[in-house]
Structure formats: C-alpha cells, structure tokens
C-alpha cells in the first residue's frame, strides 16, 4: 500500500528522490554544471546545496568527460555519485568515460570493484530546444554491457527509479524527459519507495494490439489508446518498459503473444532506435503468435528542427499514434 | 461444348435460392465439382459444384440475386470442347492482339494443356498446386480448389495458421475483414464463436524463452508442459480422376457434432444379446392384420422403441441431458430414431413417447419416416430428443457402438437379428435351441452414467424385449 498521496511534478519527484537519498546515505553526492548555486538548469537539484553543503553538491566546469570521470573515481572508492549532464545531448562528450570506464569497471576487476554511479540525463524534444537540446540518445547506451538504462515516464517512476538507481551497485543512466518536468503531475505517496530496475509496467490492458513504449511517449500512447477505444471501440494494451537495459523481455513477449499485433513507439529516431531491438526480439521469439508485422513509430531520421511546425512534423505525437493504431488494427 | 450451371433443387419446399457469393470469375479454369458459388435459401446454405471441368465462359446471375430453381447461373466451356480456348479474358484488354492469336494456328503449347484422355472428367489437373509444408496444416483451399484457381493468393499470418491447425479450421471458409480481405486473428476468433466452438485464445507457444540474465544457471526445474501435439493428416496429393466432394452444410454439421461428442463424452460401450424369438412371433401373429389396418408394415423397431421407453421410465437418469456442469433428468421421454437418408443421417424425434403403446410408436415412427422421405421434415421434428435409438439395418451389422447424440447421455443401437443355436434352460436342464438373436449395444456417457447403471438399463431393456409382453 502506498502512503498518503501528495501531488507533485515529475521534476519535484526527482528533487525529492535526491533529497531523500542524500539524507539516507552520506555517500550520495551530486555533481554537475550549475547544480549547486543555481540549483540546476531545470531546478532539479534546488535546495540541495543549502541542505547538504558544497562538499556534497559540487558545481563543475563545463566538461562532461571530467564530470563522469570524477564520478567513476569516487564510485570506485565507495561513494555514490549522482552526476548530471545538463542536457542529454552533451552526454556524447562523456562517452568514453561511460562506455569504456564506468561500464567495464566491474568486468575489468573480476567483480571485485563496482561503479555505483547515476548519470542523470535530461533528454527529449517537444520543448522547441532545437537540435542540441532535444536529443534522445538512449540507444547509444542500450548495447553496452555493464550499464543500466532507465527512462521513467511517470511521476511515481521518476522518484522510485532514481532512488533505485542510486542504490544500485552498477552505473545507471537515468534519462529524464524534459517535456515531462512540469507538464506531468501526480499524486504519489510520501516517503520512501523504489521502483525495481528491469521491470516493465503494463499501463493498460487490451486485446486487439499492444503498444510498447517508454519515457516521453507513454502519455501520448495512453491518450491515443483512449481515443481509439472511444471512436473505434479498439482495445489497446500499453506496456511501459521503464527500463531499457536490462530489458524486461518476458513482459515484451507476453504482450506480443497475447495480442499478436505490436506497435513500438519512441521519441528517439527510427533507424537504430531501441524499437528495432524490440521488433527483432518479438520476431525471433514470438513469430508464431504474430498476426501482423511489428510496426515502429518514432521520430523521423533527421535532426530535431527548431521551427515548431517542423518539430511537430518530425516527432511522434498522439495523432500519429492514433493513425498507426488504426492501420495496424485493420491489418 | 457449353454447359449450363443452374439453380439446383435443394429440397421439396425450396423454390428459389439467392447467390450469396461467387467463388470463381469469368475466365477462371475450374475442375469438376469445384465449388462455383455459395447459395443460400431459407432452409439451407450450400455451394454449387461445377458440373464439369472447363472455363467459366459467362456468369449470368449476380451476387445477391434470387432466382428460381432451374434458372441458369453461369455457363462453362468444357475443357475438352472445341471452343474451350476461346476464353473471353484477352478480348477485354487488347482485342487487336487477341484476334490474330485466335486465327493463327494454335501454338504448340495447347495440346499439352489438354487432358490426355478424350474424356473431360478431370477433376484434378495440377498436383503441384498442393505443396506440402512440413508442420503446417493442409490449407483447405487446396482441397476445395485443386486446380489452383487464379486469384486465390490468400496468405495468413503465423498466428492465424497456428490457430487453424489447433482448431482444425478450413481457413478458406473464414471471412476476412483485414486489409484486402486478409483473415486476421480476430476473424478466426469470430469464426470459432460462430461455430459454437469455445473461442479459446491461441495458446502462447510454450517453448522455453531465453532468461533475462544470460548467466543464470541451467534450471533444474521440470520443463514446462509440452505443447500438445497437433496431428496433421498426410498432405492430400491429388491424382487424376479423384473427385473432390465438398462437405454439404448438413455433412459439416454432422461432422462437427460427432467430433464434439467423441471429444466431450467419454463413451462406454456395452452389448447385450437379446432373444427376439417371442417378439418376432408376436409380430408375425399381428403382421397381416396390422398392415391392413394401418397401411404400413409392422417391424421390430417399434417393439424395441417401446422396450426402450419402458426402460427409460425405470431408469430416468438415462433420459437426461448434460448441461454445463449438471445432469438434467428429463421428465418427458422424447425418443430420437436415427434414419439414414441420401444426404446423411437424420434423427426425427418421437415426442412424449412415455404415453405411447407399440402401435402408437409405430404410427409416429412411420409418420416421421414418411416426412423424411418426402423432405417435409421440420426443425421441430428433429429437435428436443432426450434419448436415441439407432437401427442402421441388418446387413453386416453384428453390433456397433453408436456415438452419443449430444447433449443426451446414451444411445442404443440395434444389431442384426440372426437365428443362432443357444443354450436354454428348461425344467432345470440345459438344452440347445434355435433362437432369433439380436445384439443390442448401448453407448453411454461415462461422465454421468456409471457402469452399473448402464448395464442395468441395458439388461432391463433386453429383458423387456425378450418377454414380449406388448399390447397390440
């Protein structure tokens, strides 16, 4: 049972998780550009400096490789750093530290060392941020063993997954969607709870087809499911992956086998996006239960434009999901 | 030679039929007996088989049109006919090309396509049309349309093929509502519901899945239950001269009923030897007078029917239905009498048989028999049975175990009557005697009828017949 409910935003959930984890465990500290004095570009770390002091809330130079590299070192020595990429778009600067250092650490030491670090990465488009402030780079990391990759889509998961990530003994990249920061509000229980990493959540049960999604597109998918339920009488199942790595394969295959028709939706680009992995998994292991080819709806294979109409054209949205559902249902 | 396809006589009272759907189009090559179109009447729905092999020259009747019996629906140019090659298809598009082709000497291709014999009765032309696919069900389209009908390019998704195999569905009969008439999983579920089959969700394949963590130790837990194996009969290989006879609607219903009964009711069969000498003597004594009075012959059947009714009165649990998870004991005895007809078995029902004498039963059985022969039998005459008696005839029938007519719980089947030497006891000593013996077999549903009850009922009916204590 959840405790007393309290309505907060997605970003407040992140802020709460940081406050609570830093209070709970003195080894937890945050580090990043403007996370201290400014309280973060998006105010995710607001109030932490006052509460925990500058030894545990560290403003860094604009150098993502340094931020992650320092985090790896601290983590090896037993700290639990939560480092922030101001925008996930800049995570590429820290790529070597993440995929070659953090991700391989446990393996290189034969399991005798670990890297309990969280990399918070504000990602996603739909906020007119143009090409350097709109990216969804999760697929660069979902093929790297040693990493965990999560992408909360609800206020509850934003808090619970961040807390679980901080307590995890391996490096976790935590993709938080900027569009959800203040647009998403929910009543969530006060106090301590976590959301298990590696477990997907069925957001809506349905019969005709399944949507598999995560992060910023979950609510669009749920809206689309409501529209087709009302206008077309279609019963759509919606699975929220929540964690991309390790993937909850059982949940993916279960819904695919149940309905036989799967639509994968994500905001990342189509080609090389995580949807391809989902589609391949289903084709390999649930082929006999398929009633239609697996469909993917994702951003177009181009940069996210600054122009609002162009941005709208490039990204998935509720109307596009409704169309995709209808065409798949008719197959 | 042109052959006309006409609206068939589908029953005495049926004077017209409606074209529900054409299964072929003009220019199609058809095999003899290949279904050409679906006809619906107020009594039956059926398919019209092609009277000959050839090419559909013209379709006269449109879909949705209602036409009297005997009306021409289409014409077929017979395969062996001189004008068989004059397929109308080309002239629609490019007459200037078609014309010289028609006048020019036939290309060498043509004789090859002709059947080797002069006889045009070639139902199966292209054996390669039915390619066996390992592990896949034989597509019913292959059976129904052995000659590879152009235009039938239906493809099915993996789950639809799997469901068809699991339920033994003829996919050609499933209406498709997907894009381009595609048959979807939903269509199959709807079709199953329409058949009254339990519309089970397709069982997800139970093969082992890779674990989430590939490093997990091999599980010592028992393997998941094996997928029930689905038997596929050997793939049909067409041979020249085969005649494909698609199921009529009645045959299909009978088939489904029989399979349902065999799979739902565990049948137990038990057989009694019945000495019918006395009852035959009784029949002999009244035969002439009876026929003069009633206008039809007195047979053994009404005596056995009367004995059955008496037995059911004494063992009411045999006069029952299985309804869901309950045994419903019926008060009224409605005795079904299985009758063989040209179109398959029919079981007219003698209603309220508990109040009838042998004569009354004989009259009612005769009345129903006549209605069947005259094809005026109604749905009411055929429904509501609570127990069934089958009399499949004398020859080659020592005894046989009938399949229960659902949802009843038992069926009696009369075997042949033959004179046999039997040991009888007279005045405390055994003696050999020549008696008329009939084997009477009872099949009962072991879900609800235990062996003791089944045996006692059968023994009692046998004794009633043997005692021949009937009023005439």
ipTM of the complex as predicted:
0.71
**Would you call B299 an interface residue with chain A, using a CB distance cutoff of 8 Å?**
no
Mind spelling out the 3-state secondary structure of chain A?
A: CCCCEEEEEHHHHHHHHHHHHHHHCCCEEEEECCCCCCCCCCCCCCCHHHHHCCCCEEECCCCHHHHHHHHHHHHHCCCEEEEECCCHHHHHHHHHHHHHHHCCHHHHCCCCCCCCCEEEEEECCCCCCCCCCCCCHHHHCCCCCCCEEECCCCHHHHHHHHHHHHHCCCCEEEEEECCHHHHCEEEEECCCCCCCCCCCEEEECCCCEEEEECHHHHHHHHHHHHHHHHHCCCCEEEEECCEEECCCHHHHHHHHHHHCCEEEEEEEECCCCHHHHHHHHHHHHCHHHCCCCCEEEEECCCCCCCCHHHHHHHCCCHHHHHHHHHHHHHC
Chain A residue with the nearest C-alpha to that of B209: A285
Whether residue A72 is found in the same domain as residue A172: yes
Pick the closest to residue B184 from A330, A236, A323 (CA basis): A330
pLDDT tops 80 at residue A51: yes
CATH number of the domain bearing residue A305: 3.40.50.920
**Would you call B181 an interface residue with chain A, using a CB distance cutoff of 8 Å?**
no
> Would you say residue A280 lies in a domain?
yes
Q: Which domain holds residue A287?
A: 201-329
Whether residue A244 is found in the same domain as residue A316: yes
Pick the closest to residue B443 from B228, B229, B265 (CA basis): B265
How many structural domains is chain A composed of? 2
Tell which of A130, A152, A187 closes a domain: A187
Between CA A245 and CA A241 the distance in angstroms is: 10
**Would you call B186 an interface residue with chain A, using a CB distance cutoff of 8 Å?**
yes
Chain B residue with the nearest C-alpha to that of A292: B157
Q: What is the DSSP letter of B14?
A: -
Per the CB < 8 Å rule, is A331 touching B209? no
pLDDT (tens digit per residue) in A157-170: 999 999 999 999 99
CATH number of the domain bearing residue A96: 3.40.50.970
Between CA A67 and CA A33 the distance in angstroms is: 9
Tokens matching residue B351: 């209603």
Place of tokens 């066996």: B132
> Would you say residue A196 lies in a domain?
no
Whether residue A325 is found in the same domain as residue A283: yes
Measured between CB atoms, which of B160, B201, B210 is closest to A291?
A: B160
> Would you say residue A192 lies in a domain?
no
Mean pLDDT, rounded, for B348-375: 92
- In terms of Cβ atoms closer than 10 Å to its own Cβ (0-12, 13-18, 19+), residue A233 is exposed
Chain A residue with the nearest C-alpha to that of B161: A288
Tell which of A162, A187, A212 closes a domain: A187
Q: How many CB atoms lie within 10 A of CB B72?
A: 13
Whether residue A178 is found in the same domain as residue A267: no
> Would you say residue A272 lies in a domain?
yes
Whether residue A96 is found in the same domain as residue A123: yes
Chain B residue with the nearest C-alpha to that of A249: B212
Q: How many CB atoms lie within 10 A of CB B420?
A: 12
Mean pLDDT, rounded, for B90-113: 40
Chain A residue with the nearest C-alpha to that of B200: A258
Mean pLDDT, rounded, for B34-56: 80
Pick the range with the lowest mean pLDDT from A163-167, A283-287, B14-18, B185-189.
Answer: B14-18
pLDDT tops 50 at residue B414: yes
> Would you say residue A195 lies in a domain?
no
Chain B hits for A198, Cβ within 8 Å: 212
Whether residue A49 is found in the same domain as residue A175: yes
Per the CB < 8 Å rule, is A258 touching B213? no
Per the CB < 8 Å rule, is A290 touching B205? no
Per the CB < 8 Å rule, is B201 touching A258? yes
Whether residue A276 is found in the same domain as residue A218: yes
Whether residue A215 is found in the same domain as residue A318: yes
Pick the range with the lowest mean pLDDT from A52-56, A173-177, B51-55, B399-403.
Answer: B51-55
pLDDT grade for A143, boundaries at 50, 70 and 90: very high
Query: In sequence order, which residues have a C-beta less than 8 Å from that of residue B95 and are 6 or more positions away?
Result: none
Tell which of A187, A210, A232 closes a domain: A187
Mean pLDDT, rounded, for A77-94: 97
Whether residue A154 is found in the same domain as residue A232: no
Q: Which of A206, A244, A289 to mutate to test the interface with B (most CBs of B within 10 A)?
A: A289
Measured between CB atoms, which of B186, B205, B212 is closest to A289?
A: B205
Chain B hits for A290, Cβ within 8 Å: 157-159
Catalytic pick among A133, A266, A285, A303: A133
Measured between CB atoms, which of B184, B202, B205 is closest to A331?
A: B184
As a 3-state breakdown, chain B gives helix, strand, coil percent values, each rounded to 5, of: 30, 25, 45
> Would you say residue A194 lies in a domain?
no
Provide the strand spans (E) within B234-332: 267-275, 320-323, 326-329
pLDDT grade for A35, boundaries at 50, 70 and 90: very high
Per the CB < 8 Å rule, is A292 touching B157? yes
Between CA B201 and CA B143 the distance in angstroms is: 27
Whether residue A173 is found in the same domain as residue A226: no
Per the CB < 8 Å rule, is A260 touching B162? no
Chain A hits for B205, Cβ within 8 Å: 257, 286, 288-289
pLDDT tops 50 at residue B161: yes
User: What's the pLDDT score for residue B201?
Assistant: 53
pLDDT grade for B423, boundaries at 50, 70 and 90: very high
Whether residue A176 is found in the same domain as residue A228: no
> Would you say residue A234 lies in a domain?
yes
CA dist B390 → B116, B257, B319, B337, B401 (Å):
47, 16, 15, 6, 10
Active-site residues of B, by number, are: 446, 450
Per the CB < 8 Å rule, is A285 touching B157? no
> Would you say residue A302 lies in a domain?
yes
Whether residue A231 is found in the same domain as residue A177: no
State the smallest CA–CA distance between residue B130 and chain A in angstroms.
22
State the smallest CA–CA distance between residue B261 and chain A in angstroms.
30
pLDDT (tens digit per residue) in B216-274: 344 444 444 444 556 777 888 888 889 888 888 778 888 888 999 999 999 999 999 99
């Amino acid at each position: 049972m959840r405790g007393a409910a309290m309505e907060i935003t997605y970003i407040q959930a992140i802020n709460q998780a940081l406050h609570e984890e830093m209070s709970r465990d003195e080894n937890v500290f945050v580090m990043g550009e403007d996370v201290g004095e400014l309280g973060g570009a998006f105010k995710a770390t607001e109030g932490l400096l006052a509460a925990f002091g500058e030894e545990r809330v560290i403003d860094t130079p604009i150098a993502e490789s340094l931020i992650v590299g320092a985090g790896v070192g601290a983590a090896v020595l037993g700290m639990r750093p939560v480092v922030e990429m101001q925008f996930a778009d800049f995570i590429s600067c820290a790529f070597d530290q993440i995929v070659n250092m953090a991700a391989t650490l446990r393996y290189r030491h034969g399991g005798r060392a670990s890297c309990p670090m969280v990399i918070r990465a504000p990602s996603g488009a739909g906020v007119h941020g143009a090409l350097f402030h709109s990216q969804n780079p999760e697929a660069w990391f979902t093929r790297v063993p040693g990493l965990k990759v999560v992408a909360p889509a609800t206020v509850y998961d934003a808090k619970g997954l961040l807390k679980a990530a901080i307590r995890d003994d391996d490096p976790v990249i935590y993709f938080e969607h900027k569009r959800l920061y203040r647009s998403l509000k929910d009543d969530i229980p006060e106090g301590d709870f976590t959301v298990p990493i590696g477990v997907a959540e069925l957001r809506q049960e349905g019969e005709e087809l399944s949507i598999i999604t995560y992060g910023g597109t979950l609510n669009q998918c749920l809206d689309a499911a409501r529209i087709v339920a009302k206008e077309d009488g279609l019963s759509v199942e919606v699975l929220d992956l929540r964690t991309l790595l390790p993937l909850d394969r059982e949940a993916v295959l279960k819904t695919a086998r149940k309905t036989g028709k799967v639509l994968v939706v994500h905001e990342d680009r189509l080609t090389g996006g995580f949807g391809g992995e989902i589609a391949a998994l289903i084709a390999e292991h649930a082929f006999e239960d398929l009633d239609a080819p697996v469909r993917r709806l994702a951003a177009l294979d181009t940069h996210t434009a600054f122009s609002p109409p162009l941005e709208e054209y490039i990204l998935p949205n509720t109307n596009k999901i409704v169309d995709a559902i209808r065409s798949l249902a008719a197959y | 030679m042109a052959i006309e396809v006409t609206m068939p006589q589908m029953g005495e009272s049926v004077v017209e039929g409606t074209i529900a759907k054409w299964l072929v189009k003009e220019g199609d090559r058809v095999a003899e007996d290949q279904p050409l179109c679906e006809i619906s009447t107020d009594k039956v729905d059926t398919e019209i088989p092609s009277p000959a092999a050839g090419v559909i020259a013209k379709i006269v009747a449109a879909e949705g049109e209602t036409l009297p019996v005997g009306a021409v629906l289409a014409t077929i140019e017979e395969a062996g006919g001189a004008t068989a090659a004059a397929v109308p298809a080309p002239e629609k598009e490019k007459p200037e090309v078609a014309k010289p082709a028609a006048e020019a000497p036939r290309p060498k291709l043509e004789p090859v396509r002709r059947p080797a014999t002069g006889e045009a009765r070639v139902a199966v032309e292209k054996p390669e049309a039915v390619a066996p696919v390992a592990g896949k069900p034989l597509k019913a389209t292959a059976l129904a349309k052995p000659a590879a009908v152009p235009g039938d390019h239906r493809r099915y998704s993996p789950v639809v093929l799997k469901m068809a195999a699991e339920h033994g569905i003829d996919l050609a009969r499933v209406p498709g509502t997907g894009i381009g008439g595609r048959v979807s999983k939903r269509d199959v579920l709807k079709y199953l519901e329409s058949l009254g089959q339990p519309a089970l969700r397709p069982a997800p394949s139970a093969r082992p899945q890779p674990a989430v963590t590939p490093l997990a130790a091999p599980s010592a837990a028992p393997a998941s239950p094996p997928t029930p194996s689905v038997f596929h009969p050997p793939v049909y290989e067409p041979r020249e001269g085969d005649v494909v006879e698609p199921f009529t609607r009645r045959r299909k219903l009978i088939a489904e009923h029989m399979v349902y009964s065999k799979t739902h009711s565990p049948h137990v069969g038990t057989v009694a030897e019945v000495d019918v000498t006395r009852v035959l003597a009784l029949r002999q004594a009244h035969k002439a007078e009876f026929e003069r009075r009633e206008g039809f012959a007195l047979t053994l059947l009404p005596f056995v029917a009367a004995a059955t009714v008496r037995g059911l009165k004494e063992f009411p649990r045999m006069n029952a239905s299985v309804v869901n998870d309950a045994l419903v004991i019926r008060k009224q005895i409605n005795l079904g009498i299985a009758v063989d007809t040209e179109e398959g078995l029919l079981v007219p029902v003698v209603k309220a048989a508990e109040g009838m004498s042998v004569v009354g039963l004989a009259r009612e059985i005769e009345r129903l028999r006549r209605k069947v022969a005259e094809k005026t039998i109604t749905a009411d005459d055929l429904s509501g049975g609570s127990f069934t008696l089958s009399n499949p005839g004398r020859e080659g029938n020592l005894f046989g175990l009938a399949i229960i007519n659902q949802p009843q719980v038992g069926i009696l089947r009369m075997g042949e009557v033959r004179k046999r030497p039997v040991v009888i006891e007279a005045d405390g000593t055994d003696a050999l005697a020549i008696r008329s013996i009939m084997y009477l077999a009872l099949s009962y549903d072991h879900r609800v009828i235990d062996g003791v009850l089944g045996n006692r009922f059968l023994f009692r009916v046998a004794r009633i017949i043997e005692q021949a204590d009937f009023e005439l």
